[in-house]
Amino acid sequence: MTIAVYAGSFDPVTAGHLSVVRQAARLFGHVVVVVAINPDKRTLLTVAERMELLREVVALHPNVTVASTEGLIVDYARAIGASVLLRGVRGATDAQFETTLAQANRALAPDLSTLFLPAESHLAEVSSSRLKEKLARGEDVSDFCPPAVAAKLRSRLSPPSLRSP
């Protein structure tokens, strides 16, 4: 069985991320969605909150699990016997960044392949940052993320008058 690792900060998980997960779940025997912990990056949600949300939204896929790591993703992938690193791309800017990252990962771990999976075209503009910005302005984000994610973010970002009960 081929194990694939899809890593990111997932602060928070978006509809674009889930598009990649759905594709990966069809392609691989086991997909591990890994919350990559970067102590230098300021995040809105804790690692535990990000993992909880991910587990909730990937629950429909029995071959998808959620984990976290503070180390290099290539080290984590090797430790669990993965042979593929997955990266989501939204457009040309992502492709350039992701290609550079894939080349760095290949230099560290030539035994791991990187596969780029584009999100569905209507999700090309979805990002965690944009999602948080929209919620902070009180805008509708139902096309950008699952309801559980919107509720969690709304409790953190929205003015009190716009928060769900």
Catalytic residue of the set 22, 50, 90, 152 = 90
122 is in an annotated binding site: no
The reply, when asked if residue 42 is annotated as ligand binding, is no
- 9 labelled binding-site residue: yes
On whether 87 is known to bind a ligand per the annotation, the reply is yes
Contact 10, 33 (CB under 8 A): yes
30 is catalytic: no
Q: Are 140 and 112 in contact (CB under 8 A)?
A: no
CB 145 within 8 A of CB 12: yes
Question: Is 98 labelled as part of a ligand binding site?
Answer: yes
Token pair listed for 63 = 């071959």
Q: Is residue 90 part of an annotated ligand binding site?
A: yes
Q: Is 122 a catalytic residue?
A: no
Active site residue 128: yes
DSSP symbol at 120: P
* Residue tagged 């042979």 (tokens): 83
State the catalytic residue, choosing from 30, 50, 128, 132: 128
Judge whether 128 is annotated as a binding position. yes
46 within 8 A of 163, measured Cβ to Cβ: no
Q: Which residues are annotated as a binding site for ATP?
A: 9-10, 17, 88-90, 98, 123-129
Q: Catalytic residue numbers?
A: 17, 41, 90, 128
Q: Which residues are annotated as a binding site for substrate?
A: 9, 41, 73, 87
